[in-house]
Amino acid sequence: MQVPFFAYPKHFLSDEDAFVDIFRSVMARGAFIQQQELLAFEANLAGFIGTKHAIGLADGTNALILGLRALGIGTGDEVIFPSHTFVATHGAIVAVGATPVPVDMGEDGLMDPGAVEAAITSRTRMILPVQLNGRICAMERILEIARQHGLLVAEDSCQALGARLDGCFAGTFGTFGAFSFYPAKALGCFGDGGALVTDSDEIARQVRAMRDHGRNERGEVVMSGTNARLDNLQAAILDFKLKTFRETIARRRDIAGRYDRAFREIEGMVLPPAPDSDPRRFDTFQNYELCAVQRDALRAHLGKRGIGTMVQWGGRAVHQIAALGHACSLPRTERFFEYCLMLPMNQYLTDAQVDHVIGAVREFHGHA
């Protein structure tokens, strides 16, 4: 049996007829850019998350860049971010001319509030936490630190659409939240896509203009902008997929629960918290990432059983990428990358595939 890590063709094949209908409808009307499908998706996304505004954008990176720019982050400003993230978080900070300051992660694998506090200088303007793997970091502490020091907060919530902490959705804790609809994300489109969510009318106005060459809804140029629009066709596909997104998340949580029950007793692995282990949290399992003492041998074993796995981001945190020039040491993050491994996790996995992964992991550790 083969269990590929990603199942990209399934994105389309799972609902082929519906997607062909959407394509035909959008194409036949020539509704390519900023048409009703985009407006509908934005309204439904805002409704799902509970923000006043959701703005469709070209990708998650542009959501971060335009959000930072709308907040006036730029040259001379330091932005604190967790080094345990995708390089896009870093790239967005650099793109607006600000200085990215990487910090270590806590025991939960997410941004460590203590490390954030220690990294604050007179030039710090903003804290940019990252909600990784569909799990929200210790936002109450991060917001408190920000309040004490007069700092802005926004979220890289690209991996956490639908995740909640104390009933609040990822993307709603700071001034804005950035989302990505890259095909590997839990809500993935057929190419690149992203969105920014915010309750601020002013941020929304600026981001809407910036994504469309600085033009307002009447087509007048009101500021300098760029082109970072979400294609209307992608918006139509996303709006269709959003209708069943709750089931998508439920299936991911079901798979995570199965993995947890099967692996709990195995020594030599540290698992992510199980779906129902904390009543304050609703994790969405964008990834199922564990730490394994014998990571590379386990990976090879699973490979022989036809199971695709991944070591996130080439096995390196942002501060470990030589080309980016961060000569710092963040011990917990560095240790994490020696042991981390992601198992197949997507809504298209069959129960038989999940059982195959479970059997192979248990077999490797000498369990029946």
Ligand X SMILES: *Cc1c(COP(=O)(O)O)cnc(C)c1O
312 part of the interface to ligand X, by CB under 6 A = no
Provide CB contacts within 8 A for 141, sequence distance 6+: 113
CB of 132 to ligand X, least distance (A): 6
130 binds ligand X (CB under 6 A): yes
Nearer to ligand X, 51 or 131 (CB): 131
Cβ-based nearer residue to ligand X, 86 or 288: 86
Task: Report, in Å, the least distance between residue 111 CB and ligand X.
Answer: 12
Q: Is 182 in the site for ligand X (CB under 6 A)?
A: yes
Q: Cβ of residue 81: shortest distance to ligand X, in angstroms?
A: 10
Sheet holding 340-343, edge to edge: 269-270, 288-292, 340-343
The residue at minimum Cβ distance from ligand X is: 60
The interface mask with ligand X, positions 236-275, x = CB under 6 A, is: ----------------------------------------
CB of 69 to ligand X, least distance (A): 15
Nearer to ligand X, 159 or 346 (CB): 159
Burial class of residue 181 in the structure, from the number of CB atoms within 10 Å of its CB (0-12 exposed, 13-18 middle, 19+ buried) = buried
Residue carrying the six token digits 């890289």: 156
Q: Which of residues 131-160 bind ligand X (CB under 6 A)?
A: 156, 158-159
Q: Which CB atom, from 171 or from 194, has the smaller least distance to ligand X?
A: 194
Report the distance separating Cα 127 and Cα 134, nearest Å.
19
- 306 three-state secondary structure: coil
Asked if 282 is part of the footprint of ligand X (rule: CB under 6 A), the reply reads no
343-359 CB burial, b ≥16 within 10 A, e <16? bbbbbbbeeebbebbbb
Give Cβ neighbours of residue 342 (< 8 Å, ≥ 6 apart): 5, 287, 288, 289, 290, 309, 310, 311, 312
> By three-state DSSP, how is residue 20 classified?
helix
Restricted to residues 35-94, the positions that interact with ligand X (CB under 6 A) are 59-61, 85-86, 88-89
List residues near ligand X by CB under 6 A.
Answer: 59-61, 85-86, 88-89, 130, 156, 158-159, 180, 182, 192, 194
